[in-house]
Each structure stands twice: as C-alpha cells, then as structure tokens.
Amino acid sequence: MRDKESILAELIEIYKSRHKKSAEVFASASRSLIKGGSHNLRLFSPYPFYDIQSGGSKVTDIDGHTYVDFWQGHFANILGHNPTIVLDALKEYMSYGQGLITGFPGEFQFKLAQLILDKISADKIRFTTSGTLASMYAIMLSKAFTQRDTIVKVGGGWHGAQPYVLKGITEYEDGLNQIESAGLSSYVDSTIILTKFNDEAHLEKTFYEHGDKIACFIIEPFIGAGGFLFGQTEYLNKVRELTSRHGSLLIFDEVISGFRFHAGVLQSLYGIDPDLTIFGKAIGGGMPVSAVAGRGDVLDLFSPETNPINRVKFEGGTFSAHPASMLAGLTFLEYLIKNEEDIYSKIGRLGERVRSGIEEIFSCYDIPVKCTGGGGPRGTKSSLVGVNFLNEKLDKLRFPEQIWNPKTSDIELREKIFKLAMLEEGFNTFHGYGAISTAHSDEEIQGSLDAVERIAKKWSQ
C-alpha cells in the first residue's frame, strides 16, 4: 500500500481546494464556537463542510457539493433526511398554531409512551431530551434502588457525556480502561468498573470480585462507538444471569439499536429483559427525544410520592416531551411499525451487501479489512457498517479493544484517510461507512462500492 502520509496530505489539499466557502465559515465559526461547532463528531479534520440542505440520502454543502450521506443524523434517520411523513405531520400541527413548548402534558406523549411500551417488556417510561440524560437518570435510578455505588460498563461503551460513564470509551492504553474526561469528582474513577464486551470470563471475575457493590451494569447489546459489534447471545445471557444473581440492575442502552434492526428493541431478538432500557436517536423521528423505560418498581423512584430517601429527582426538563418532538417520534415510529417488513428487509439487505462487498474489494488489493455491523441474533437485519483496516490478521472482530487498539486496527486510516477519500468520491461516511436508510437506492449503494474499488486501487499503486 502507498505511503499513508502522502495519501493523507494529498486528500487534505484536495479537500481544501474544494471547500473554500466552508473554510471561511469554519474560520468565523471558530471565533465563537469551539472548533467551529457544537459536537466534536461533526467537526472532522481539516475542517467540516457546512451543510445547507439535506433530503433523503443526500446532503449538499455550502460549496455546492452533494454527498450521499451515511452519517444520517448520528444514525437516527432510518428513513433518510427530513422524511416527508414527519415533515407533513409537523407542518399540519404547526398550521393550527401548535407545536412549540406549552409547559402542559400533551396527548402525543401518552401515545408514544404506549407505542414503545408495546414493543418492550417494561411497565413504565419517562421521556427526556438526550441519550446522555437518559443514561444518567437510569444510573441514578439503579443507585437509588440498590443503595449501592458501583457501576459496571464495558470498555468501548459510549452512553453520552455524563459523569457516571466517562471511563473506558475509545482511548486505548493497554486496554480501554481510563477516565476520559477532566472535571469529574475524584471518587468517580473508583466507582466505575470496566469489563470487556463479549468476554464471559472477565464478566464472571468482575461479579465474583465486586458483585455485592454493583448497582448496575450498563451495556449496549449492539455496541456503537465500540465498533458496531453485536453482543453474543451466550454473553448477554450471562450478563442477565449475573446481574440478577447479585441484585444489580441491568440497563440496556438501546439508543442506537432501538428501532434500528426491526420495529422494536434489540433485546427482544435476544429474548432478554433488562431492568431498564434507555432510548434516543430514532425514537424522536428527527427531533430530540430520549427515554428511560423499565420495571415499574424502579421507575416509581422518579415519582414525587416516593420516600425522599430513595427518590431520584428526575423532574423532567423544560423541553421533556416537547409537543412537536412527541408528534415527530410518534409519526416516525408508527410508520416504521406499519412498514416494518419492507423497511428492514431493504436496509438489512443493503447493509449485508456493503459489508461483504467492501471486504471483498480490499482483499483483491491485499489490504486486510474487516467490516462490522453484521452477525446479530436470529439473522438480524443490520443496516450499520463499520470498516476496519487491520494491522494483524484476524478472522473476526469481536471486541472493542480490537477496534481501538492501534496495534490491531489502523484508526487513522479508518477515521481520517478513508473518510476524506470517500468524501472526494461523493460519499459522507462515519467509522468507515455508517448507517443505511430507506432513502438510499441500490444504485447509490453500488456507487459507494465502486468508489471503494477506485480508492483501493489508488492506494495500492
């Protein structure tokens, strides 16, 4: 393969020459905003392109370039950008002079709550506005319910930027095991214990050593930032068994997986019922909605009538269950449920085609690549694709440590070089590829594979 530095330098030059207006926006935006924006994942190097329009599979930037987008609103947009079905519902609602915050409980939230509860083995649900807040409240609930302090999470698990989980995410140093944020209380480090995703032996050891102190185990059954990997069924069964045996609560983070693989929760495909589940992304239909759902005796700790000693002060934020957001979420999920078979078989088929296509292409050019995102329980239809450039020969990627260890995976190649190379070809990707929506056509998917082929060819010359 050609020298990486020269490929990157070349790509940066091309990018800069094609994104002059974005460079100007970036320069002025950076005067008031940190790195020119408000979310680090959107601010890739050398500088992001600023989007002015998006619809369906595509985004068009301020310099006039149109990209087929696989980032799709942080993977929330299962129907593509700005789906008409949601826009129409919102327009009609707003045409009655409604939709903005009222400060009163609106009826859409009861409907959305019921719709989600019908899909999950849970008694109650409460809405908030971000996955981060939902994970924070779920963990506070577990601490209050168990009267314990220790949280277990897996290395590679991302549950938002809240103090109880900012350890062992993507920074690899002999494992994924360190605090990744300043500004936390000094005791936080000692209250978060890390275990390894898909590693039953490590899990047993963790519970054997700390079981009676563990308030909860929070885990994504499909790990996102950790590399688009499904939990193995035996592993997740063991997770359920050990948490129950030790009186710890099991929290499934379904912020990514909820409604992504079918019109419901991933846990039901495993046949595992956690005590609490958190949702985000897709359940808002493009608007900021998240939720904590779970056992009634645990969620009741949110109630103002609960004994103050155990009560968790999740009062709800100003914008919790925002009327327009509830309507967007309800419209979106109703559509997913009604069209479940068509939607998920299409995007799952395309996902499979991309994963196998990319591996095949790179193998023809002797560049070792493994795609993640497939291989879920009961033939899960997965529309998520990660592309990993391997430094060592591996048959299968199973652990986040393999995704984030620079000795195993070439992180710079995945996150920076391939990203810019695909942009030059007209495709906006994330973690190597990203999320396929119903708006992506077969032709666009084939186009992305043709682009990968051209890139692989160029790199190997």
Ligand X SMILES: Cc1ncc(COP(=O)(O)O)c(C=O)c1O
Q: Which residues contribute to the site for ligand X (CB under 6 A)? A: 74, 130-132, 135, 158-160, 220, 224, 253, 255-256, 280, 290
Q: Given the complex with ligand X, which of 43 and 449 has the nearer CB atom?
A: 43
Measured from the CB atom, the residue of 319 and 365 that comes closer to ligand X is: 319
Q: Identify which of residues 270 and 459 has a Cβ nearer to ligand X in the complex.
A: 270
- Using alpha carbons, select from 53, 111, 97 the residue that is nearest to residue 328: 111
Counting beta carbons within 10 angstroms of the beta carbon of residue 8, is it exposed (0 to 12), middle (13 to 18) or buried (19 or more)? middle
Distances (CA, A) of 108 to 93, 105, 125, 254, 308: 12, 9, 14, 22, 30
Q: For the CB of residue 130, give the shortest distance to ligand X in the complex, in Å.
A: 4
Q: How far is the CB of 372 from ligand X (least distance, A)?
A: 15
CB distance 224 to 158 below 8 Å: yes
- Residue with the CB atom nearest ligand X in the bound state: 131
In whole angstroms, the minimum distance from the beta carbon of 161 to ligand X comes to 7
Query: Which residue, 153 or 419, is less far from ligand X as judged by CB?
Result: 153
Q: Residue 369 CB, nearest distance to ligand X (Å)?
A: 23
| Separation in Å, CA 264 to CA 11, 165, 166, 279 | 41, 25, 28, 11
For ligand X, which is the closer residue by CB, 132 or 383?
Answer: 132
Minimum distance, C-beta of residue 446 to ligand X, in the bound complex (Å)? 29
Integer Cα distance of 431 and 419 in angstroms: 8
Calculate the alpha carbon distances from 124 to 66, 292, 304, 316 in Å: 43, 8, 15, 15
Task: Supply the minimum distance, in Å, between the C-beta of residue 135 and ligand X.
Answer: 6
Burial letters 43-81, b for 16+ CB under 10 A, else e: bbeebbbbbeebebbbbbbbbebebbbbbbbbbbbbbbb
Q: Which is nearer to ligand X, 228 or 302 (CB)?
A: 228
